[in-house]
Amino acid sequence: LLGADGSMAATIFAEMSALAARTGAINLGQGFPDEDGPPAVLEAARDAIAEGVNQYPPGRGMPVLREAIAEHQERFYAIRLDPDREVLVTAGATEALAATILALVDAGDEVVTFEPFYDAYGALIALARGIHRTVPLRLPDFQPDLDELRAVVSDRTRVILLNSPHNPTGAVFGVEVLREIVALAERHDAIIVTDEVYEHLLFDGVHTPISTLDGARDRTVTISSGGKTFSTTGWKVGWLTASAPLLEAVLAVKQFLTYVNGAPFQPAIAVGLRLPDSFFADAASALRAKRDLLSSGLTAAGFTVGLPQAGYFVVADAAAAGHPDAARLCRELPSLASVVAVPVTAFVHAEHRDAYRSLVRFAFCKRTEVIEEATRRLAALP
């Protein structure tokens, strides 16, 4: 985690957003929307503040939100949960991930993730002094190879941590992949931790939570967040659902990380989770149009694009556009094209960087005119 001089490196997202702010470039680096989400959700937070919902909420989260999370899991996935024992509200998905990894992983335990992986995974596994093993995802579809997955999971594996829909690639793991993860977890007595923050941002088909598969429920911690679904990334209201014994273990850690957070935002996210189905469908189709716009713009600019099935991001191979070193391209992009993007090497282990050297992640959770302007600039890239 520490650099050679003992300092902690800034995350790639903080670095890239600072670069965008400094240069005035269009920020397609850090994944956050540039428009507000549903007015009813924003209004509910304002109302809660006005009504005095401003002190510590209960340690597990406000009942109204825990109930809304349970209702949401039942409405969309037919998962029935006890909101008092099987739902825990956290400071974003990030705290859910941190508390879960710190609760479950002891020094020397192995954690398997797919690579590229969301940057916090590597840092959290290191904080727990775990050993991070990875299964590679590759262009064109970024689906894991089942033999490679089987080769990595063993009796030393404590946690298999998956993220589908996946950041950065936008891959949605097929059901046969999910089934194999459950079978391996059962065979090696591992816990499944599943990061489903992009659960509502699928461009085709529906999301299948791994906890709904046979054998998964009692060994799975499911993590999500209001940030992506309601365009409220700054509110940091997330949650996890798990069987009561697993949840108790995570809560034991969580109470000493933040204790609680975001009192007035919790009832507001509850309002969001209860919005009609049409809200969720419309948000995904609006984002799908942005995916198509940015993907075709990148293709026109000479990049090879792996079309994402979900989420905020598209991964493009810059080698075809004459830029084999994506990290260098991303450093130069603000001055070459006044656009900021993130090299995929930021999501992989140093020793695996060569395989991802020419890949760039672009965020498309931005206003249409911003994406159009960015594609015009990228088309003029030397």
Geometric angle at alpha carbon 119, from 115 and 124, rounded to 5°: 105
Residue 11 found at the interface with ligand GLN (CB under 6 A): yes
Q: Which of 48, 62, 70, 93 binds ligand PMP (CB under 6 A)?
A: 93
Stretch that binds ligand PMP, among 36-44, 90-98, 147-155, 257-265 (CB under 6 A): 90-98
Minimum Å gap between C-beta 83 and ligand PMP is 20
- Residues 6 or more apart in contact with residue 270 via CB below 8 angstroms: 44, 62, 64, 65, 67, 68
Instruction: Kindly state the helix (H) or strand (E) to which residue 148 belongs, with its residue range.
Output: helix 146-152
Rg (C-alpha) for the chain, rounded Å, is 20
Rounded Cα distance between 139 and 381, Å, is 23
Kindly tell me which residue out of 88, 197, 247, 283 binds ligand PMP, with binding defined by CB under 6 A.
197
> Does 118 participate in binding ligand PMP (rule CB under 6 A)?
yes
Q: How far apart are the first and last CA of the chain?
A: 36
Residues in 139-168 that interact with ligand GLN by CB under 6 A: 167
Tokens 């063993």 -> residue: 154
Nearer to ligand GLN, 81 or 294 (CB): 294
Residue 155 tokens read as 């009796």
Instruction: Select from 26, 27, 28, 30 the one that contacts ligand GLN (CB under 6 A).
Output: 30
**Nearest distance, CB of residue 312 and ligand GLN, angstroms:** 7
Residue nearest to ligand PMP (CB): 92
Main-chain phi, psi angles of 11, to 5 degrees: -65, 155
| Cα 25 off chain centre by | 24
Q: Considering beta carbons, is residue 180 or 195 the nearer one to ligand PMP?
A: 195
Picked from ligand GLN, ligand PMP, none, the partner binding residue 11 (CB below 5 to 8 A depending on kind) is ligand GLN
Helix (H, G, I), strand (E, B) or coil at 271: helix
User: Which x/- pattern over 213-242 shows residues binding ligand PMP (rule: CB under 6 A)?
Assistant: ------------x-x-----x--x-x----
Nearer to ligand PMP, 261 or 358 (CB): 261
Cβ 143 vs Cβ 162: under 8 Å: no
Which residues are near ligand GLN by CB under 6 A?
11, 13, 30-31, 167
